[in-house]
Amino acid sequence: MLKTKNFRNERFFGRYLDYEEVSNYLRSLPPAFNLCCQGYSVLKRPIYSLTIGEGKTKVLAWSQMHGNETTSTKALLDFIDWINQDAETFRWYNQRFCLQLIPVLNPDGAVAYTRENAHHADLNRDAITLKQPEARILQKIGAHFKPDFAFNMHDQDSLYGIADANKATILSLLAPALDEARSIPPSRERALQLIAGIAAQINVLIPGHVGRYKDEFNPNCMGEYFQMQGVSTVLFESGHFGRDYTRDQVRKYVFNAFVSALSLLADQAYKNQTTSSYFDIPLNTENFYDLIIRHVEREGAMVDIGLKYVEELKDGKIIFLPRVEKIGNLKGYYGHKEIEGLGQKIDGIPKKNIELNDIIDRIHINNEIFTIDLTNN
């Protein structure tokens, strides 16, 4: 079998994926991938699925329910290319699984690079009302395919880290609740065990960077919906690390986590895991900024400044705009990058007084100018 570690589908990289290119690639796959147009988005773009294998265990995985969350789509495209390049690998999955993959559930959001669909609706709040065609398509696929496991694949933003640690979250996982009491019937227990197994394996690659997503019950969410149907459901959230703003490093770990999940299912090794090892995974929490400028004087007071790089689609590429998110004491928070101001006075350029929500790409501390946009990092 091909080694997963550094494999990647070289057709796709960067934060923005061209939906035409993704569609063309899916359409070019051999017949054994069983491409199917499952229906159409609000703007009549086709929503494709692939169905692979004749094995016993049925796994449904979807990505880009939120159009601006492309990392796990890249990981699925890596997986597809990986099994397509090696007949033995393909056979291995074919014998054990029936996989149904939906690389892009929200093509209109993918093209516009928005979380929502073309009706400005969050598909992940539409599990009960089913007003949106994309949400109806996902539930129709679920009802028809009747998966044993569902993988609900997303991206989280760069403000997340591991609780009480200076470790950015690269991957966070959750077995969504199916009721207010967060009860654990056997179907959810299998998801907890699978997550404990994935976390243990991925922690070897990225020690301390795997988190447990916060557990809240919201029946409008798709993960909760599938869990409530008795499908063992796992939420994958691709996170952020260091200067990897294209997330082409992170995708590697998401791809490995996906492969790891299937391996644990294939030999049923996940059943050796306990629910307590799931609850031992440290919590994913908001304790990061993209950039922290520490100990600077602003309007006569000593403050720290936290900035986030806000994504914007421009000419088919994503640009990152440094936006001031927090001015105050940022003890207990970490920066993917930090600048130490040593108590000196700070000014923005060209606007001198730095305020919340300002987009600033250069700062002046004492006599030194720092460029803080990502082009110079």
Rounded to the nearest whole angstrom, what is the least distance from the CB of residue 291 to Zn ion in the complex? 24
Q: Of 214 and 345, which has the nearer Cβ to Zn ion? A: 214
- The helix or strand, by DSSP H or E, that contains position 363, with its residue range, turns out to be strand 362-365
CA distances from 250 to 71, 109, 196, 245 (A): 7, 22, 19, 9
Q: Of 154 and 240, which has the nearer Cβ to Zn ion? A: 154
Q: Of 254 and 264, which has the nearer Cβ to Zn ion? A: 254
Distance between CA 284 and CA 251 in Å, rounded? 18
Q: Of 154 and 209, which has the nearer Cβ to Zn ion? A: 154
From the list 251, 232, 249, the residue with the least C-alpha distance to 148 is 232
Distance between CA 245 and CA 225 in Å, rounded? 32
Q: Which residues contact 48 (CB under 8 A, 6 or more apart)?
A: 23, 26, 35, 36, 37, 38, 102, 103, 104
Q: Of 51 and 285, which has the nearer Cβ to Zn ion? A: 285
Rounded to the nearest whole angstrom, what is the least distance from the CB of residue 337 to Zn ion in the complex? 25
Rounded to the nearest whole angstrom, what is the least distance from the CB of residue 152 to Zn ion in the complex? 9
Q: Of 49 and 71, which has the nearer Cβ to Zn ion? A: 71
Rounded to the nearest whole angstrom, what is the least distance from the CB of residue 154 to Zn ion in the complex? 3
Rounded to the nearest whole angstrom, what is the least distance from the CB of residue 119 to Zn ion in the complex? 17
Q: Of 154 and 212, which has the nearer Cβ to Zn ion? A: 154
Q: At what angle do helices 186-205 and 250-266 cross, to 10 degrees?
A: 130
Helices and strands, counts by H and E, the chain: 9, 17
State which residue has the least CB distance to Zn ion.
154
| C-beta atoms surrounding 280 within 10 Å | 11
Rounded to the nearest whole angstrom, what is the least distance from the CB of residue 71 to Zn ion in the complex? 10
Helices (H), the chain: 19-27, 71-84, 87-96, 107-112, 133-145, 186-205, 222-228, 250-266, 275-279
Q: For the chain, report the end-to-end CA distance as a whole number of angstroms.
A: 38
Q: Of 4 and 169, which has the nearer Cβ to Zn ion? A: 169
366: left (phi over 0), alpha (psi -120 to 50) or beta: left
Rounded to the nearest whole angstrom, what is the least distance from the CB of residue 237 to Zn ion in the complex? 7
From the list 242, 140, 230, 130, the residue with the least C-alpha distance to 187 is 230
Alpha-carbon torsion (111, 79, 246, 13), positive or negative: negative
Q: Of 66 and 247, which has the nearer Cβ to Zn ion? A: 66
Distance between CA 303 and CA 295 in Å, rounded? 6
Rounded to the nearest whole angstrom, what is the least distance from the CB of residue 79 to Zn ion in the complex? 19
The answer to whether the peptide bond before residue 176 is cis (omega within 30 degrees of 0) is no
| C-beta atoms surrounding 46 within 10 Å | 17
Rounded to the nearest whole angstrom, what is the least distance from the CB of residue 115 to Zn ion in the complex? 7
Residues that bind Zn ion (CB under 5 A): 66, 69, 154
